[in-house]
Structure 1
Amino acid sequence: MAPTNVLDQYYLAITLLVTVAYQMLGFAIAWTLQFDKITDFTGGSNFFILALLTLLLGQVFDARNIVASVLVMVWATRLAGFLLFRVLKMGSDTRFDDIRAHFWKFAGFWVGQILWVWTVSLPVTMLHSPTVNNTGVRPSFGTSRDIAGVVVWAVGWLIESTADIQKYYYKQKGTPPKNKPFDKGIWKWSRHPPYFGEILCWWGIWMLCISPATNGTISSSAKSALYGSVVSPVFTTLLLMFGSGLPTAEKPTGKKFYLMSHGPKASDPGAWKEYQAFLDKTSVLVLFPRRLYKIFPKWMKRSVFLDLPIYQFNEKKDGGKAIKEAEEAERGNN
């Protein structure tokens, strides 16, 4: 069957409209009821909707199209399901405490979620689009690029899933102690394995989706669309490394351990030194054995493993400000 043309030859408009409508519905519910139960679920499930929608509109059910869609839907189902389960158990999401009651700040988060879902979904959107599907003969599924893409996705999915399960399990058991960084399971080899796994997943999906571009009969516009969808894994990598991922996780964690040793309510004099030792031996993103990582010089950790200064809580630069803020908060509570 021929692909269904909807608004444009790339399915850019229809996927954007569906994403905006779905996210704005979620925002309306979350804002009206002032709760966080559906926020992350709406983001994850949106990927499932776009993958299924574009597959059905494209009307091409080759193995590659089906496998690519299934991989996205499996990833989205696990992510949305886990995040929904976690927030239901926790009762609320502390990330939104400062913006939940502010209309424009809260709306800004949902607009960002629209950009995230729509951009990262581009590889499957392009694969199913009329521009690619109307080009005639395409390589059969099973090329080396296909296999590599599936393997990279599978490794990333296993890392991300295992990391989330392990951290949730140990937190439910009450371990590790609050004065120690979490380093159980695969978290011994990376400070943020879920981010690393997610990055691998989207590079794998992109590798799988661009295989038709190797066909000599494919049009130049189709090739450009497929190769251009590299914006998806690049955006994912940059977002997690410089946006809502590492920067928002690393410094607050460092601040927490610093205040445990130096703050107005210091409870463990050795917590800050122990945390610094943890940083010195644990890769920030890529899974890597501790014994090897620890012996690498600092320049190699920064240049090869991208453990950049922007992630770190600087005792001299940030310490005084953190203590002052903690003291002011303490006075406000009294």
Structure 2
Amino acid sequence: MGVTAAVSKRVDRVAVVDIAWGSVFVAIALVLAIVWPDEHSWLLAVLVTLWGGRLAWHIARRSKGHGEDPRYEEMLGGPGWHAGAATVLLRVFGTQALVAWIISFPLVVAAAYDVRWWPLVWVGVAVWVVGVFFEVVGDAQLAAYRSRPRDQRPPVLDTGLWGWTRHPNYFGDACVWWGLWLAGALSLGWLPGLLTVFAPAAMTYFIRNVTGAKLLEKTMSQRAGWDEYAARVPLFVPRPPRR
């Protein structure tokens, strides 16, 4: 995150931190697998690398040629490093570094101890697959929507997974980390699971209420038709579409 902050300051764009977010966890998982090599650590490293690598690539491709992300403008009161170095480092880079350290606890614990319940590992992998599905498909549907001319598309995307939840990619992100907690810490036993459950809970809280869905909706709510969309489609947890 320190390196990313230096790059961000150079290009005067705080949103580059989003590209580094997935990469941070890839680095953590790979180091753990190298230092404590066993099939469990490498399985988790593969899952984290697939998720984090895809996320970093997707965000880098999507943000190419764009200005500052409205979420960070809202958070900092202006584009780029407008709020000053101390504020940006504390609110964005420092916060995300701390959160990444906390969220990685189930991976660290999983690397240090032996698996007790292998079936739970595969349950966690299944939950991870659901999360990746929501992220990949949701992002693809959003990209297809944005590729259409503005006069030929509705003001709000409300089809596909976007008719089930207003933020399928954020919901998928939460599922990924609950899956990694199941496959990682909880598979070791009840005590490691209970001692690390704060990690996926914190991730879910942040992407739903702090840096993700709620912050994005402050901008999205200005679109025509948004109020009607928000009234019938849930914010986070999906449910079947309804009129």
**Please, what TM-score do these two structures have when normalized by structure 2?**
0.86
1:262-312 per-position Cα deviation (integer Å, ceiling 9, x unaligned):
xxxxxxxxx3xx433222221221221222xx5xxxxxxxxxxxxxxxxxx
CA distance in 2, matches of 1:107, 1:74: 28
Gap change, CA 1:201 and 1:176, over 3 Å in 2? farther
Which has the higher relative contact order, 1 or 2, with Cα contacts under 8 A spaced 6 or more apart?
Answer: 2
CA distance in 1, matches of 2:178, 2:207: 14
Give 1:100's aligned residue: 80
1:71 to 47, 50, 59: 47
Gap change, CA 1:211 and 1:189, over 3 Å in 2? closer
Root-mean-square deviation over aligned CA pairs: 2.3
Amino acid in structure 2 at the alignment position of 1:31: K
Q: Does 2:196 correspond to 1:213?
A: no
Give aligned pairs, total.
Answer: 236
Larger Rg: 1
Give 1:182's aligned residue: 157
CA distance in 2, matches of 1:176, 1:228: 52
Give 1:48's aligned residue: 26
Question: Are the counterparts in 2 of residues 46 and 117 from structure 1 also a CA contact under 8 Å?
Answer: yes
User: Deviation at 1:139?
Assistant: 3.6
User: Deviation at 1:159?
Assistant: 0.5
Gap change, CA 1:161 and 1:189, over 3 Å in 2? same
Question: Are the counterparts in 2 of residues 36 and 87 from structure 1 also a CA contact under 8 Å?
Answer: no
Give 1:35's aligned residue: 13
Give 2:136's aligned residue: 161
Superposed counterparts of 1:207-246, under 5 Å: 207-214=182-189, 224-246=191-213
Q: Secondary structure at the match of 2:140?
A: helix
Identical amino acids, percent of aligned pairs: 24
CA distance in 1, matches of 2:133, 2:89: 33
1:70-114 per-position Cα deviation (integer Å, ceiling 9, x unaligned):
111111001111111111143553444515232122212101110
Gaps of 5+ in 2: none
1:25-74 per-position Cα deviation (integer Å, ceiling 9, x unaligned):
21122113323574222221111000000111113x12x32222211111
Gaps of 5+ in 1: 1-22, 215-222, 258-270, 295-334
**Please, what TM-score do these two structures have when normalized by structure 1?**
0.64
